[in-house]
Each structure stands twice: as C-alpha cells, then as structure tokens.
A and B are shown apart, each in its own frame.
Chain A
Amino acid sequence: MALDAKTGRELWSFYTVPAPGEPGSETWPPNNDVWKYGGGAVWTFPVVDRDLGLVYVQTGNAVPPWGGELRAGDNLYTCSVLALDLKTGKLRWYKQLLHHDIWEADVSTPLVLYDTSIGGRTRMVLAAMRTDGFLFLMDRATGEFLQRVEERAVKQDAQLKTSRTQPFPVGADRVGP
C-alpha cells in the first residue's frame, strides 16, 4: 500500500495473491477459496529505484504453509520478487523463486540493489536470497535473470500436489548441503 506522506491518504494498494479472474489467479485452485488466506506476506521492507520508478517487494510462504493438498498450482505471487510501478502500484514484472511452497520458504531477506559490470556491460542488479541460501540475480529493470536458472525436477508427492520443477541458479554458491 502506498500512502500520501503528508495526509496518509491511500494512493494505491497491491495484493500479493490475485483474486479470481486477475492475472495469476489461474495458479490457484478454482474449487475452493484458499486464495483468500493464501499467504504471500511481505516480511521485510521493500526497496525503491526512483530512477526506474519501481518499488520491489519480496513475498513469503503460501498458506496453509504445509498444506499443499489444498492449493494445486504455483500459487502466485508467493515466494516471489515483485516489481511494482512506484506511482500506480501496477505489477511491472515478477519472478517466483519457489513454486507451490510447502516448506515455508519465504523470500524474506531484504533485497539488495547495486550496479556492476557483468560480461563487460554495466547492469542494474537486484539480488534476492531464497531461504535455502540460493542467490538469484536479476536485471532490476526487466526481471531477466542475470545467471542461468534451471527448472529442475524435484521430489514428487501426489498428496501435496508438488510442483514438478523448482528453479535453481546454475553454479551459484549456497548455504547448506
């Protein structure tokens, strides 16, 4: 939500879980209302790029946290990085860093913006840390990944309606085994 700093008047708001009919709602089951309680909490502060006119937020786990059986689909925009238009709150781009979360895998480390040279070209970087210690680097204007990210097959469970794949940055350092 954006508020007028002088008056407190609401300027815009954005819900991190889309309502039925909105883009992204197709990633929630149509036969229940779990999306209403769907999670996507923003646990830490957003960051702003005034030059690009974007505000970036990172979202937390889906709800119920371990109840994948109730919410078939990717469950946008949980466990994601979102770029919103600073003036309107419209979604400009997003990247979901974990599909159909059943591990309470918030993306909750505050995002970092910096400029650096990659391959001889200056890039405007957004760094996002997933809870499991995998680091994702994106072009903060477009959301394009700046390293190769693979959708890898993961363990499946029919009861929990697990996602067939999860994104992993190739060759990235990580925490843990």
Chain B
Amino acid sequence: MLEGFLLGCHYDPILPDVPNLAVPYMNMRFSPMSYSPQTGHLYGTGCVYPFWIRRPDRPWLGFGPVVGHIPGQ
C-alpha cells in the first residue's frame, strides 16, 4: 500500500476527514446473471480492485466521492 493511505474494508464508513482510504471495491452490478438447470450453477460477472475512496464534507456536494485508482497500483 502506498505510503499515506489507510487500508480499509469494503464496508468501512467513508468519512470526510479520512481522505486517503483505500478499500477493496467490489462490483457486481448491471451485468445479467444466468442460471443453468443442467449444471445447477448461477453465472455472474464481477470485479474487485483496490480503490481510493473519499467524499466531500457536504453530503449533497457533487454526485459522489472522489474515487480513483490508487497511485502506483
């Protein structure tokens, strides 16, 4: 982890005064899943990647947190 970043969990609270939180950002959304009665499996797509996540002081400011890839990762 890059110096100065805090390594957190997916479900860590995202706080305005913690601007350097890095989390494993998990994404399973939008892409359809399918089910095969032949295998009994559900098939889905998703990804996980290290993410720099932060939010502004005011909750309505901007659409969301400033997010991005961690420098050097």
Residues of A within 8 A of B (CB): 43-44, 64-70, 102-104, 106, 108-110, 112, 114, 116, 127, 129-133, 135, 154-157, 159-160, 162, 166, 175-177
List A contacts of B64 (CB < 8 A).
65-66, 104
Interface pair B29/A109, CB less than 8 Å apart = yes
Q: Is B48 engaged at the interface, CB distance under 8 Å to the other chain? A: yes
Interface pair B27/A69, CB less than 8 Å apart = no
Interface pair A175/B48, CB less than 8 Å apart = yes
Band of interface residues on B: 20 to 34
Which of B10, B28, B37, B64 counts the most A-chain CB atoms under 10 A from its CB? Answer: B28
Interface pair B10/A132, CB less than 8 Å apart = yes
CA gap between A119 and B28 in the complex, in Å: 28
List A contacts of B60 (CB < 8 A).
64, 67
Interface pair B11/A103, CB less than 8 Å apart = yes
Interface pair B28/A131, CB less than 8 Å apart = yes
CA gap between A69 and B59 in the complex, in Å: 8
List A contacts of B44 (CB < 8 A).
109, 129, 135
Q: Is B9 engaged at the interface, CB distance under 8 Å to the other chain? A: yes
Would you give the shortest CB distance from B19 to chain A, in whole angstroms?
A: 13
Interface pair B10/A108, CB less than 8 Å apart = no
Task: Give the top 5 A-B pairs by smallest Cβ distance, nearest first.
Answer: A67-B59, A157-B13, A176-B48, A108-B29, A176-B26
**24 pairs, A vs B, C-beta closer than 8 Å:** A43-B29, A44-B32, A64-B59, A65-B63, A66-B59, A66-B64, A67-B59, A70-B59, A102-B13, A104-B64, A109-B33, A112-B34, A114-B37, A132-B11, A133-B26, A135-B42, A154-B11, A155-B11, A156-B13, A175-B26, A175-B47, A175-B48, A176-B10, A176-B24
